[in-house]
Amino acid sequence: MTARIAITDELPWLTSTRDTLHAAMQGDRVGAAVLIQIAPGSGGDWLARWCAAAVFCTAPTAGAPCGRCVECRRVENNEHPDLALVSPLEDSKEIKVDQVRALAQDLALTSHGGRRKVVILTPAERLNRNAANALLKTLEEPPGDALLMLVTGEPSRLPITVQSRCTRITAPAPDRAELARWLAARGGSVADWTAALSLYGGRPLDVLDLDPVALAGLQRDTHRVLDEGLRGSLDPVETAEAWARDDVALRIAAIESWVQSRAEDWARGRARLDARALFETAEDLREARGWLDTPINKPLALERILWRVAAIGGARRR
């Protein structure tokens, strides 16, 4: 959950999705379960929390939660007695069957406030097979008038039986320029956020917890070193050792954004580069997503990528 986005904040790229969902909820057209399909880190959890607050709020304006009453604040702080948040537990990448069973038991009890109970499952594709099967039972016979919200970027990873029990709504990914302006309105410059987003493009709201100036600096530094590498002055061993000491995932993202720019240069005939080395580097970087969370020897893995980068400059390097 990205706690720093308040219920009353406006996420412009989600306004129409939120309004559609809200109207459906108010018109009783959602049923017991809704599946919110949205790219990770684009505000899906916020949207689900907003809907939960809309259910509980005691002082709504046109049905929209006020963000100030006790009920809204409880939702905001994840301490509302009738709102259950189900996510992978610490140290686990999965939502497990025990969590879903506990949820079913909880849903069987009457709510505290006499309103409906709300459940947010996020990211829902992390439900393991047993958990998904257990959830299916709840979806088939939802207790009371519970509302379950499944937030996922990958609905196809959920069993078709679960998907078919949910009303589906698809939220658009934010446009990067729009997002940079939105972030800059909260602090920082548009230019720094634009650079930060090119590193965190896949999970835009995750940048909120980071310092855009530092991110932009890291990107500039990475691009400078790699540009020098094209002229033959990259030391893959030394650079890999240095870069492995800090956030490797960010470095990989920065290298990716550099490779993308160079690929554009090459495609437009602006630079004579070794296309094969360029695409092999891109391939290595894609593979890197698979090893980032593993105990692999990161200096060595980075070094391998940097040797590829060194080859992009062409025949000047061997």
Question: What is d(CA 140, CA 24) in angstroms, rounded to the nearest whole number?
Answer: 20
Q: How far is the CB of 79 from Zn ion (least distance, A)?
A: 14
Binds Zn ion by CB under 5 A, chosen from 38, 48, 57, 306 = 57
Q: Using CB under 5 A, which of the segments 61-69, 91-99, 115-123, 271-279 binds Zn ion? A: 61-69
- Residue 61: phi and psi, rounded to 5, are -110, 115
Residue 66 touches Zn ion, criterion: CB under 5 A: yes
Q: How far is the CB of 76 from Zn ion (least distance, A)?
A: 9
Q: Which of 155, 191, 147, 193 is nearest to 171 (CA)?
A: 155
Question: What is d(CA 65, CA 68) in angstroms, rounded to the nearest whole number?
Answer: 8
Q: Which is nearer to Zn ion, 24 or 66 (CB)?
A: 66
Residue 107 touches Zn ion, criterion: CB under 5 A: no
Binds Zn ion by CB under 5 A, chosen from 25, 64, 69, 271 = 69
Q: How far is the CB of 69 from Zn ion (least distance, A)?
A: 3
Q: Which is nearer to Zn ion, 47 or 127 (CB)?
A: 47
Q: How far is the CB of 50 from Zn ion (least distance, A)?
A: 11
Q: How far is the CB of 59 from Zn ion (least distance, A)?
A: 5
Binds Zn ion by CB under 5 A, chosen from 33, 72, 240, 311 = 72
Interface with Zn ion: number of residues (CB under 5 A): 5
Question: What is d(CA 110, CA 126) in angstroms, rounded to the nearest whole number?
Answer: 28
Tokens coding 269: 């005939």
- In the sheet where 167-170 sits, what is the strand order? 83-86, 118-121, 147-152, 33-37, 167-170
Question: What is d(CA 103, CA 86) in angstroms, rounded to the nearest whole number?
Answer: 8
Residue 208 touches Zn ion, criterion: CB under 5 A: no
| 8 Å CB contact between 34 and 167 | yes
Positions touching Zn ion (CB under 5 A) are 57, 65-66, 69, 72
